[in-house]
Chain A
Amino acid sequence: NAGVMQNPRHLVRRRGQEARLRCSPMKGHSHVYWYRQLPEEGLKFMVYLQKENIIDESGMPKERFSAEFPKEGPSILRIQQVVRGDSAAYFCASSPTGLEGEKLFFGSGTQLSVL
């Protein structure tokens, strides 16, 4: 049973370009969460999605950031017109039911570097 798969592992973009980060949850999991880790910081919640629905995006910056989890295919975190401050590791996690206190299973993250 493969774990949470994220790609690419490393992504380099120039300022103003778009970044697309992909996340395939564990088999049987329909709840996906995105977190961001800035240098020397803990992870911070960004958004929670179920299939075709955004449940909570309270941690997402209001502009340039969007997320989706389509019926088919991976979840996508999209950052438009990237700036240097977007450089961070972006982690995806998944869980089977979204129930309270449930364990989240994390991927290995995508390291985004903005030049």
Chain B
Amino acid sequence: AQTVTQSQPEMSVQEAETVTLSCTYDTSESNYYLFWYKQPPSRQMILVIRQEAYKQQNATENRFSVNFQKAAKSFSLKISDSQLGDTAMYFCAFMKEGGSNYKLTFGKGTLLTVNP
């Protein structure tokens, strides 16, 4: 079974600064997908970024980028130029390739607060 660990329950950052959220996972699979989801106070789960494990290049979406270290089983999220609207819970998630590929395994989340 896969596990996802987010070791930072809460973090804060000043507006316009950069912040990095940590995520580690444990799996015996060699092929899989990793995701970061954002859950603002509205509660909707919003996909921030997605990474295929077979790709060495780190995924990037505008101000959001990841540092994917497959050997270390680490998948951190970097948010550059933080904005007040980035305040939310952030969840790291794992999906294995093949078989039950629709089952996302989530971490417990990191609450990020962006301060003005």
Contacts and interface: CB of A to CB of B under 8 A. Distances in A.
A59 B106 CA distance: 14
B22 to A, nearest CB: 15
A42 B93 contact: yes
B86 interface: no
Interface string A37-57: 000111111001000000010
A88 B80 CA distance: 33
B49 to A, nearest CB: 11
A98 B102 contact: yes
Nearest to A44: B106
Interface residues of A, number: 30
Given A42-B109, A44-B106, A101-B95, A108 B44 contact: yes
Contacts of A35: 104
B45 A42 contact: no
A109 interface: yes
A84 interface: no
9 contacts: A42-B108, A43-B106, A45-B103, A59-B103, A89-B43, A101-B95, A103-B47, A107-B44, A109-B44
For the complex of A and B, list the 7 residue pairs with the smallest distance between their C-beta atoms, beginning with the closest: A42-B106, A106-B45, A108-B44, A100-B101, A45-B103, A101-B33, A43-B106
Interface of B: 4, 33, 37, 42-47, 50, 52, 91, 93, 95, 97-98, 100-109
